[in-house]
Amino acid sequence: MKNQYRVAIIGGGVVGASVAYHLAKSGWTDVAIIERDVLTAGSSWHAAGGFHALNADPNIAALQSYTIDLLTEVGEESGINIGMHMTGGISMASAPARWEWLQSAYRTFQSLGINDVELIGPEEIRRRCPIVSTEGIIGGMWSDREGHIDPSAVVHAYARAAKNRGAAILEHTKVEDLRPRPDGSWDVITDKGTIIAEHVVNAGGLWAKQVGRMAGIDLPVSPMEHHYLVTESIPELVEMQGEIPLIVDLEGFTYTRQEQKGLLMGIYERDFKHWHMEGAPWDFGIELIQEDTGRIENELSLGFRRFPCLNTAGIRRWVNGAFTFSPDGNPLVGPVRGVRNYWVACGVMAGFLQGGGVGKSLAEWMIAGEPQADIFGMDIARYGDFASNREYIRQTTGQFYSRRFVMSYPNEQLPAGRVLKAPGAYEAMTAAGCRWGAGWGLEQPLYFAPEGFIEEPSLKRSNAFDLIGAECRAARESAGLLDITAFSRYEVSGPEAAAWLDRTFACKLPGPGRAGLAPMLGENGRLKGDLTILNWGDGTFWIMGSYYLRQWHMRWFEDHAGAGVSVRDISDSIGGFAVVGPNARQILQKLTHQDLSGAALPFMGCRSVDLGLIRAKVARMSVTGELGYEINCGALEHASLRRMLLDAGKDLGLREIGFNAVLSLRLEKSFGIWSREFTQGYTPGETGMDRFIAWDKGDFIGREAALAERDQPPARVVVTLEVAATDADATGFEPVWQDGALVGFVTSGGYGHTLGKSLAMAMVDRRAAVPGTELSLHIVGREVAARVIPPSPYDPKGAAFRA
């Protein structure tokens, strides 16, 4: 065993082996997989081995597609037969809403360029799988590239291919501790001696929790039990030529595939059970957990009804094994903020489906500084310290597991991990009818409703539609009051604060008492943030953005820190409200002796203002497109500020509004938001953020790549669409068609209540971006007409917010 490697990968399961393979393939061959037992020990060896196309996050679905393509390639390269059975697969729906959801998912795949899927009816399902009962089935989605593999063979294929390229495999070597070295490398303490590694990758699987704690990190993961059964030979399958497809019964909570001449059926039971939440015992390896069939009885009965032949089949074996889950079921991937050269690749509960994409993305990240794909849905930085709480992990991982095949709706709010953090006026706003959502642990207002109102989950316009419309009209016609606690705020100070900001952001810095929109780019020229910089004129600046990106942005700021500058996350110590609408200035002026006229506090101006008893930091800006003021106060002043503003505005039509109304109002202005129109997968030129770049200033991160794009305009751009929708609006990733050809996809959409029109923003080919171009979309499976319109259909000259 060598005593020094460039990369030490802790864990010899499918994820660790995939990371090693992708690193070695990209030229980093001085890599070691360190496995305490043997390759596959833990979860990989007993996995059911199925792979399928569906994922709620389209970016992750694309990486799953990559993994499926890669499996055969790795098998051939390694010379190991991975037992690939490309049987195809069917996801079946027996509820009308689920059938609508499948139709939407089918169109999402088309947006991603995944064209090996089709919708089929019950008769076709039965033809392709003669042993399934289609009683109650409305339809299904077929995918060519679904099936199953030999899990152990896949792990060994990745590992052998990595070894052939120069990587080392150290089995029966237990990592006992990790100690950081002054130069940023690590002492990896094993039971066979100490290894020095420049980088450490935690691919510990069931032991990821312990491997994290060795570096002082408490990861939001937990092992959970998962059952499947394997039958004896079934006469119908013995007589059948070929192999049945992988079947996912979405309302039955089961997946089923052929195993030789029998069946393998797995169950995602609603009665979930955690297993060793602090991580698996160190002496656990090629072992299983005692089956608990009573706990899965209800789901089993559904599965046996769906496959009647199971009622007479003998059970050859039960498998109750542990898999590691994160709160949202997606992997944890990437560098850990504040811990140099420590990377995670864990929580990958669908390792054989997502392992290839995880390995590829992490290898790119380590070598090039950024993954090629936008994998924020996997990024460890999507969680903060709040997510490491044991009870939070227990609730959220259990909720995800029990809802693995449960229908989810875009307007549905789930209870796990709530209420955790709340704005100061939470109780008073709740009493006033606020309906809350949660983001990054914080309760955020969605809309206000009368007592007794219950929103019905829906893929279409919900029964809260009219309530949200009334809030929109209030903001346009009189005034709206919005809780803005759910904005992130970073204080930047120090003698080099301005120089650091100038280097970090692509925009011209605002002068004292001014604010400015601030694109932040990666070295590759793609977006890293659509933020706002406020210069308070006293040597301190604020950066404001999305609350749920706090860990992600702070990691970036710290990774690019310099001497003489301090960046401090003050988000939880500051709250506030925005007052928007034509009466906003009158309301605020009633509370202060200071002049708030357009001349004294112009558009995009910022200053300290005494509002009643509160000295607030006020910025004149609004994402709604109306005259607006964002009022920032201390967290303990939040409730008082609300009472004061409501009292001042009671004769001027002030009404509390939520973010659902804001989403409608911003669409009427063609204002993009992060994770929709702006992502780290898009460039300034594609999104229109290039208009905020200060091309004539000095160097800034991403400048060369941005200049290259300026000189060679991108092939696709974001546009605004007017949509001929009736009872459902676009939400995102619906395909955009021109004369039957795919020309783009929706980034976000909704209903413009004050314009009375369904609107969407979409990323489309430049040739289809001309206003007046006739297009079409598929919304909840139905094709509707759409037309490109000029941006900002409401108040295109911006007279309202400049008033």
What's the pLDDT tens digit per position in 366-402? 999 999 999 999 999 999 999 999 999 999 999 999 9
What one-character-per-residue DSSP string does 745-793 give? EEEEEEEETTTTEEEEEEEEEGGG-STT-EEEEEETTEEEEEEEE-S-S
> Is residue 276 domain-resident?
yes
pLDDT band at residue 57 using 50, 70 and 90 as cut-offs: confident
pLDDT of residue 1: 76
621 and 769 in a single domain? The answer is no
Given a cut of 90, is residue 56 above it in pLDDT?
no
What's the pLDDT tens digit per position in 687-715? 999 999 999 999 999 999 999 999 999 99
641 and 740 in a single domain? The answer is no
* Domain final position from 655, 687, 705: 655
Given a cut of 90, is residue 675 above it in pLDDT?
yes
768 and 626 in a single domain? The answer is no
> Is residue 479 domain-resident?
no
745 and 610 in a single domain? The answer is no
> Is residue 441 domain-resident?
no
> Is residue 610 domain-resident?
yes
Q: b/e for 298-330, b at 16 or more Cβ within 10 A?
A: ebbeebbebbebbeebeeeeebbbbbbbbbbbb
The answer to whether the beta carbons of residues 535 and 543 sit under 8 Å apart is no
Given a cut of 90, is residue 253 above it in pLDDT?
yes
Task: Provide the 3-class DSSP secondary structure of residue 1.
Answer: coil
The answer to whether the beta carbons of residues 107 and 781 sit under 8 Å apart is yes
149 and 266 in a single domain? The answer is yes
The answer to whether the beta carbons of residues 378 and 355 sit under 8 Å apart is no
pLDDT of residue 12: 98
Average pLDDT, the chain: 97
* Domain final position from 655, 674, 692: 655
> Is residue 425 domain-resident?
no
pLDDT band at residue 455 using 50, 70 and 90 as cut-offs: very high
Alpha-helix runs per DSSP H in 79-150: 96-111, 122-128
Residues 151-174, mean pLDDT to the nearest whole number: 98
> Is residue 128 domain-resident?
yes
| Token couple for 391 | 């009870």
> Is residue 629 domain-resident?
yes
- Report the alpha-carbon distance of residue 40 to residue 673 in Å, rounded: 42
Parent domain of 734: 715-803
pLDDT of residue 535: 98
> Is residue 180 domain-resident?
yes
Given a cut of 70, is residue 10 above it in pLDDT?
yes
Provide the domain count of the chain.
3
Global pTM reads 0.97
Task: Provide the 3-class DSSP secondary structure of residue 447.
Answer: strand
| CATH number for the domain harbouring residue 800 | 2.40.30.110
647 and 728 in a single domain? The answer is no
pLDDT of residue 113: 84
76 and 183 in a single domain? The answer is yes
648 and 735 in a single domain? The answer is no
* Domain final position from 609, 631, 655: 655
29 and 108 in a single domain? The answer is yes
End-to-end CA distance of the chain: 72
pLDDT of residue 59: 78
Residues 275-285, mean pLDDT to the nearest whole number: 95
| CATH number for the domain harbouring residue 139 | 3.50.50.60
Closest CA to 729 of 414, 462, 469: 462
pLDDT of residue 54: 66
38 and 166 in a single domain? The answer is yes
| CATH number for the domain harbouring residue 589 | 3.30.1360.120
- Report the alpha-carbon distance of residue 337 to residue 64 in Å, rounded: 26
610 and 759 in a single domain? The answer is no
646 and 722 in a single domain? The answer is no
